[in-house]
Structure 1
Amino acid sequence: MKIKVISLLVLSLSLALSGCSSDNDKNKEFGRLSIQLTDAPFPHDLVAEANVTVFKIEARSKSEGMDEENSPYILLMEEEIQVNLLDLTNGITTTLVDTEVPTGSYDLFRIFVKGINIVLADGTVYDLKVPSGEQSGIKVFVAPNLIVDGGLTADLLLDFDVSSSFVAKGNRKDAGGITGFNFKPVIKASNLSTAGTLSGNITTLNGEEVTPLEGAQVSIFAEDALITTTFSDATGMYTLMGLEAGTYTVVIELEGYVMQTAEDIPIVAANKTTKDFELIAQE
């Protein structure tokens, strides 16, 4: 009887160790990939919506010793996700992918889109043609390559530049003068493990009361080159994600207020830098 009990214990222990080994091997072979979508700001008062339906995303595995043409693509998602890109500003994102993928290096993502349209503030809808996004996907390169390690999560941010992607035809200053839009997709990819975030509040003093300022343009420069811009919201808050680690110059502009510049603002990888601004009204 004792021999049977010992045998069962040994068998149970063997199975447990086998299960742990299997789990460890899986953790080494697979990591987790998360992809979020955001929107570079679109300062167009006449536009109410910029709608895109993402229905498939693939990633190219940069296999060692294999050329680009023969590198395999991995399907990350295949479901319809409709988003109004104008809702995704100042740090607001929507998750497109959250799944396990084989460990390794990924250098190219293909974003397949359809159902593109622009809705003006007066309700006019313009349905747009997709140049290649529905058939071959919009190609988004990642440099340096996105590395997925076993048992860890890699976070990728896709910044859909609406102002560059949706080009108005006709008179842009008047809704009645707009005759349509051309869709020329521009998407920037940022590895959130090597990129940081800049955020803060923009206010002014009315007497002794601090008042938030909406619509202030925040421009980010690196060595005199414009990197990106955003605008403060109704609470005076602004957020810029996906900035590579380094130092930047930040310029704040709003009609009726004195322009303000801050130099050598540090951005740290995978961290948030906070910088508030208090603007002075012009005399």
Structure 2
Amino acid sequence: MNNKSRLFKLFYSGFKNVLAFGLIAVLIASCSDLNFSGSKADKGHMDFHLTDAPASYDEVNVDVQGLRIHYTPQSSDTVTSDTTNSDGKWIDLPLDPIRLNLLELTNGIDSLIASADLDPGHYKELRLILGDDNDVVINGETHHLKVPSGQESGYKIKFKTDLESGDDLDVTIDFDAARSVHKAGKSGKYILKPVLKAFISGGEDMETGSIAGNVEPLDAEATVYAIMGTDTSSTQPDSEGAFTLVGLNVGSYDLNIQPANDAYNDTTLADIQVNAGEENNLGTITLSEN
């Protein structure tokens, strides 16, 4: 082999080593950028869903602009699940602004609005941030929904959980449209005052359950109420008579079914048990005629 060949071989070998080293450095830097507060394996995961109970409107459209959650590290010795202090911080969850008709998110249907890998720790309180493009449709007529001022930081939602490494949780935010839309006196204007609650709806930390079933006949136009003491949840069956009441605290409920059609009688089923993480399906409930 002549001198030129040897020099070329040495140059080529050195170039490959430099290129390989450069690629490794880029990969390390990229991984560092993606997981600047720890590897994905050190984190837990939360998906955030939005749902609603039926209301007597054609549509209730809300302009969702953001979602925040309060976080306190596990390393804080002075913090418990019920405490918020200077060690905590607000986290803006990744959310693409979206306009949703709440009345399409009923009877167990929801919309995934945010998903995030999060550091282990104590999570307490959510804040839902709304824009100005909100309206309610009544008898085919659209009315703007005014959002009260002073809510730039978001609407408070009571919530708390401890997230561990490897946890995979679903969090559902229940936006009660029926109790959130208000008519402003005789002005003909409408105001949006969100009534919200949140609960773990999937994962090992579920603390709520659900009741499901079917109501017949369809022309009864029933409303279904789950009642336990002062705790009441309601829904209306869909076009096939199916209903689901989600986010119910554990306990024994009375299920009251009230038809809008006077041709049928009210019906109450007593002692319906709700267990954490379970759906109690009651099958078909047939209302009697007057």
Task: Decide which structure has the larger Cα Rg and report it.
Answer: 2
Structure 1 residue ranges, 4+ long, deviating more than 3 angstroms after superposition: 25-28, 130-133
Unpaired runs of at least 5, structure 1: 1-18, 172-177, 205-211
Equivalent residue number for residue 172 of structure 2: 157
Give the residue type in structure 2 aligned to 1:107.
K
Q: Deviations over 1:3-36 (max 9, x none)?
A: xxxxxxxxxxxxxxxx9xxx9x846631110111
Give, in angstroms, the shift of residue 78 of structure 1: 3.8
TM-score normalised per structure 1: 0.78
* SS of equivalent residue, structure 1 residue 86: helix
- In the alignment, is the contact (CA less than 8 A) between 2:181 and 2:193 conserved in 1? yes
Q: How does 1:66-81 map to 2 (within 5 A)?
A: 66=79, 68-70=84-86, 71-81=88-98
Unpaired runs of at least 5, structure 2: 1-27, 29-34
Give, in angstroms, the shift of residue 69 of structure 1: 4.6
Give the residue type in structure 2 aligned to 1:222.
M
- Structure 1 residue 184 and structure 2 residue 224: aligned? no
Equivalent residue number for residue 60 of structure 2: 50
- In the alignment, is the contact (CA less than 8 A) between 2:220 and 2:263 conserved in 1? no
Give the residue type in structure 2 aligned to 1:55.
Q
Equivalent residue number for residue 257 of structure 2: 252
- In the alignment, is the contact (CA less than 8 A) between 1:49 and 1:85 conserved in 2? yes
Taking a change above 3 Å as real, the CA distance of residues 131 and 239 of structure 1, as seen in their structure-2 partners, is: farther
Give the residue type in structure 2 aligned to 1:79.
D
Identity score, percent: 26
Equivalent residue number for residue 246 of structure 2: 241
Equivalent residue number for residue 141 of structure 1: 158
Give the total of aligned pairs: 241
Give the residue type in structure 2 aligned to 1:168.
K
Give, in angstroms, the shift of residue 226 of structure 1: 4.3
Taking a change above 3 Å as real, the CA distance of residues 130 and 79 of structure 1, as seen in their structure-2 partners, is: farther
Q: Deviations over 1:67-124 (max 9, x none)?
A: 6252211121242111011111111100111221111221111111112222223333
Equivalent residue number for residue 281 of structure 1: 289
Equivalent residue number for residue 23 of structure 2: none
Give, in angstroms, the shift of residue 127 of structure 1: 4.1
- In the alignment, is the contact (CA less than 8 A) between 1:214 and 1:236 conserved in 2? no
Give the residue type in structure 2 aligned to 1:271.
E
* SS of equivalent residue, structure 1 residue 68: coil
Please, what is the CA RMSD of the aligned residues? 2.3
Equivalent residue number for residue 31 of structure 2: none
The structure richer in strand per residue is: 1
User: C-alpha distance in 1, partners of 2:141/2:228?
Assistant: 39
